[in-house]
Chains A and B, each alone.
Chain A
Amino acid sequence: MSAAEAAVKFVTETPEKEITRVKEWINTEEYKEKNFERTALVVNPAHACQPLGAQMVATGFEGALPFIHGSQGCASYFRSTFSRHYREPSAATCDAMTEDGAVFGGQNNLFEGLENAYALYKPTMIPVFTTCMPEVIGDDLNAYIKNAKKKELIPADLPTPYANTPSFNGTHIHGYDAMLRSILQDLTTDKKIEDKGTGKLNIIPGFDGNVGNLREYKRICELMGIPYTMLADVSDVFDSGCDGEYKLYPGGTKIEDAAESINGKATVSMMKYSTLNTMKFINCEYSGAKEVLSMPFGVKKTDEMLLKLSELFGKPIPEQLKKERALAVDAMTDAHQYLHGLKFAVVGDPDYLLGIVSFLLEMGAHPWHVLCSRATKKFKKEMDALLESSPFGEGCTCYINKDLWHMRSLLATDPVAGIIGDTHAKFAARDAKIPLFRIGFPIIDRVNLHRSPVVGYTGAINMLSMIANKFLDIKDETCEDQWFEMMR
């Protein structure tokens, strides 16, 4: 037998005993400790990369065609992700950089890409953002785009804001922030007119995969009689009707409204952490009041939002909203017994987490494990303060920069009744034999949840129904016959 032949190993079968041992071991405290010790490996992260967020913003303006400078595979991944979540088309184009781009830079790709994209898809704006590749090789987007206009490949007056959105920095919420800031900066240049306000409210929804939320904000403004412009309004783009005609640009914030937004009466961001830099820019440049609100999950945060809007515009809270508040509170008092005292795990983006935790505390539930897979200490401090503000937050822990495999260990060693998060949490939920309540992004295994708001008083009722009824379903499906009852 030669040495090479000797090196050939037999195909092995893992012994059943060994499988059983490991299967049990991964649920232990010992495993959890080892799991939390890792520093290099990330398993099942609960966040995506910057350009995804940039594409969401770029999609939210009327006639805008998101343009990805970099590898074509990235573009396909972003488009697929949005199409799976919304079950809608997700138009975006890309300049398909390959090896030669890596060597010579991506200017030629950008030139050709801009020219073709403009000719074929006739956009009103081409927001450009980057993938890893041009960021690593150091492409100068500013110069490239200027050169493209100089060469008359695209009209000189076509808005072409750009954002650097490397995936090795931040997450999708930071890409959202960078692209939005850049678009607003571009569109509002020289548009400021002192003392001539539009009287309108600018609303920035933040990275929110729930178009129902965006519509709820708009409905509230309408009820209050507040004229508004929603910036990066993806609601009609990522939730358009089927009427026999495909429209490449079915909606979004009008370019002129976005340009005028600099003269607004007030600007509010509904998400602090996905608009940090945008709000810095707005604070310096925009007219009127600027406010960063907490996402209006549950009653108290919705109250806060309404009071703020009322204060900013000197408008009273309309009867309709007072009635809706009472309905939400009615639903919550009626159903409190189904959530009170239950422990929950929550995973998601920072602003969503703050909102969901606030709602759970209002219901008398414990947001036991709160996990954000990429966040700052500032966020943790804010979350800790929120948990400390309620007796129901006692014993609850916020974990930052941990992933869903960490979450699995938490669920195995310190069980909870249910987990709230996006579809990616379904594996952890299944292993822990607890239900997953799908609130977040992306939701790629259920229909229509993205259409049903989770913010505002309406959203509170929706969340409550989803959670309470699921527990009741489980009871009906799993209880023994003698405990099966007509009423619950």
Chain B
Amino acid sequence: MAERKPIKGITIESTEKLIAETLAEMPEKAQKKRAPHLGANEPSASPCAVKSNKKVVPGIMSQRGCAYAGAKGVVWGPIRDMIHISHGPVGCGVYSWGTRRNLMQGIPGVTSFPMDFTSDFQERDIVYGGDLKLEKLIREADELFPLNKGMSVLSECPVGLIGDDINSTARKMEKELDKLVVPCNCEGFRGVSQSLGHHISNDSIRDHIIGKFKFKEEAGPYDIALIGDYNIGGDVWAAKPILEEIGLTVKSVWTGDGEVEKIGATHSVKLNLIHCYRSMNYMCKVMEEKWNIPWLEYNFFGPTKIEESLRAIGEMFDDKIKKNVEKVIKKYKPEMKSVVDQYKPRLDGKTAMLFVGGLRPRHTIGAYEDLGIQITGAGYEFAHQDDYDRTAPEMAKGTLIYDDVSEFELEKFVEELKPDLVGSGIKEKYVFQKAGIPFRQMHSWDYSGPYHGYEGFKIFARDIDMAINSPTWDLVKSPF
């Protein structure tokens, strides 16, 4: 891939200067800790020079969440036919109830459970332990929600600290109910971010779910699974039809609008397509080792990346699929062109800065570029080195890379680089909007979406145009 053209006014030197000035305002120890996480992009450098997946520096106002958030909110919550128990005090379950937009089909409370199940720990549970309560509540949940296909037990901080053994309780109840009861030791204090929660959840799926089920129908040559698409704002529903249109059969989705038994039978597919590499690469690697299933990263944001991805997927199959791929690309081209024709004239030459989770900063770059928007800064809340290595080539030389950026730093960077749009999360949104800077939430698609696939690009383009070109921004400056 050709290296991106440099962006006017941004050089390695200017970016390094900005970083140095920002760091200078911090206490020495914090400077030392933060410096390796900030850098000017060198597209060809491998590995990327920016350090990641390290502890949050106390007091700096990081935007990170915890292992529980990565487990419950990200991996488990979207599995629609399981009951997900937030095991511990009431807060974690309440805050993560319905706040991620992982949409699901089904009848709530009957066949799907987009709800908050919790053991609502009280002081006595801390003192005497919560294992018996857990046992009892699993029985109660199964009785009141009999069509559940299993349960996950997601432990919150106190559970691990008081030494409860959710694993043996889960084992006992799995036997008693003859249903999946999966323990997940994802206490919030474990690890440095959401990321460990993903990993622990992947391990739980490996140990308790995968290989435990099989499809009734014979495996077909075009069977695939979608991994790491959580159906935010309906993304899965926009991505799946394209894959079906090129002739593939999507047997299971991990875990957006997911069904646990199908997830457990995924080891029969021919290819795993992984969207969010950060949160689910672990299980792709497990399935590759154990069942020889190849996996491929794909990107369905914006027509350029969709086309690239479809062709790469086609390469994994026979001529029939390859032909279908070309047909599909041709079919949607006029529609995509008209979207670009409509919005690009208003967006061409604009710049944006991104700070999202573990995937979207790099994956959405193509979609912005399809609209003529250049990315001047990008970073992740909880990415690892391999994510940054995948990001560097997607960004122009000298652009700003920031890992686990604090509010203090991001404010300074935005102030200096003056992007036309910031794409980040709810905690950042209003900080920048107060400053008159257009903003879109890029975790939740700002209550819009889907953004995946051809359908999604239409909505993405509309939303980005709306954010940048809303006449409301013209009112910010008062005439008096």
Indicate if B47 sits at the interface (CB-CB under 8 A). no
Chain B positions 64-79 with a Cβ under 8 Å from a chain A Cβ: 64-69
Q: A279-308 vs B: 1/0 string, CB under 8 Å?
A: 000000000000000000000000000000
Question: Which of chain A's residues have a CB closer than 8 A to the CB of B95?
Answer: 48, 77-78, 80-81
The smallest beta-carbon distance between A167 and chain B, in angstroms, is 4
The yes or no answer to B49 lying at the interface (CB within 8 A) is no
Q: Which of A44, A80, A101 contacts B97 (CB 8 A)?
A: A44
CA distance in complex: A351, B250 (Å): 51
Is B290 in the interface zone, CB < 8 Å from A? Answer: no
Q: Is the CB of B434 within 8 A of A48?
A: no
Contact between A115 and B59, CB atoms less than 8 A apart: yes
Interface centre among A73, A136, A245 (most CB of B within 10 A): A73
Listed residue (A102, A137, A167, A431) with the most chain B CB atoms within 10 angstroms of its CB: A167
Establish whether residues A23 and B59, one from each chain, have CB atoms under 8 Å apart when the complex forms: no
Q: Are B90 and A171 in contact (CB-based, < 8 A)?
A: yes
Q: Which residues of B contact A479 (CB under 8 A)?
A: none
Is B345 an interface residue when CB atoms closer than 8 A count as contact?
A: no
Check A43–B115 contact: CB distance below 8 A.
Answer: yes
Query: Taking the nearest CB of chain A, how far is it from the CB of B269, in angstroms?
Result: 13
A278 CB-CB contact with B under 8 Å: no
- A87–B147 touching, CB < 8 Å: no
In the complex, what residues of A have CB within 8 A of residue B123's CB? 166, 168-169
- Residues of B contacting A242 in the complex (Cβ-Cβ under 8 angstroms): 433-434, 436, 476
> Do residues A8 and B213 form an inter-chain contact, with CB atoms below 8 A?
yes
- Compute how far the CA of A78 lies from the CA of B259 in the bound complex, rounded to whole angstroms: 31
Query: Is B115 a contact of A405 with CB atoms below 8 Å?
Result: yes
Residues of A within 8 A of B57 (CB): 96, 112, 116
Q: Please give the number of chain B residues whose Cβ is less than 8 angstroms from any Cβ of chain A in the complex.
A: 99
Instruction: Assess whether B311 is interfacial by the CB under 8 Å rule.
Output: no
Residue of A nearest to B431 (CB): A89
Interchain nearest-CB distance for A127 vs B (Å): 14
Identify which of B155-163, B199-207, B393-401 touches chain A: B155-163
> Taking the complex as formed, is B429 at the interface, i.e. its CB lies under 8 A from any CB of chain A?
yes
User: B476 to A243, Cβ gap below 8 A?
Assistant: yes
- Which residues of B are found within 8 Å of A40, using beta-carbon distances? 119, 133-134, 136-137, 140
| Chain A count of residues within 8 A CB distance of the other chain | 92
- Evaluate whether A26 and B58 lie within 8 angstroms (CB atoms) in the complex, with A74-B188, A98-B192, A169-B122 already known: no
CA distance A102 to B189 in the complex (A): 8
Q: Does A132 have its Cβ within 8 Å of any Cβ on chain B?
A: yes
Once the chains bind, are B213 and A42 in contact (CB under 8 Å)? no
Can you list, as one digit per residue, whether each of A159-173 has a CB less than 8 Å from chain B (1) or not (0)?
000000011110100
Proximity string of chain B (212-249) to chain A, C-beta cutoff 8 Å, 1 when within and 0 when not: 11111000000000000000000000000000000000
Considering the complex, give the chain A residue whose CB is closest to the CB of B251.
A11
Interface residues of B, Cβ cutoff 8 Å to A:
25-27, 29-30, 55-69, 88-97, 99, 107-111, 115-123, 125-126, 133-134, 136-137, 140-141, 143-144, 146-147, 149, 156-158, 160-162, 188-192, 194, 211-216, 259, 261-262, 264-265, 406-408, 411, 425-427, 429-436, 476-478
A-B contact pairs, 23 of them (CB 8 A): A9-B261, A10-B213, A10-B214, A26-B144, A38-B144, A39-B136, A41-B119, A44-B97, A47-B94, A48-B95, A73-B188, A74-B91, A81-B95, A83-B429, A89-B427, A116-B57, A120-B408, A133-B161, A168-B121, A243-B476, A243-B478, A244-B436, A431-B108
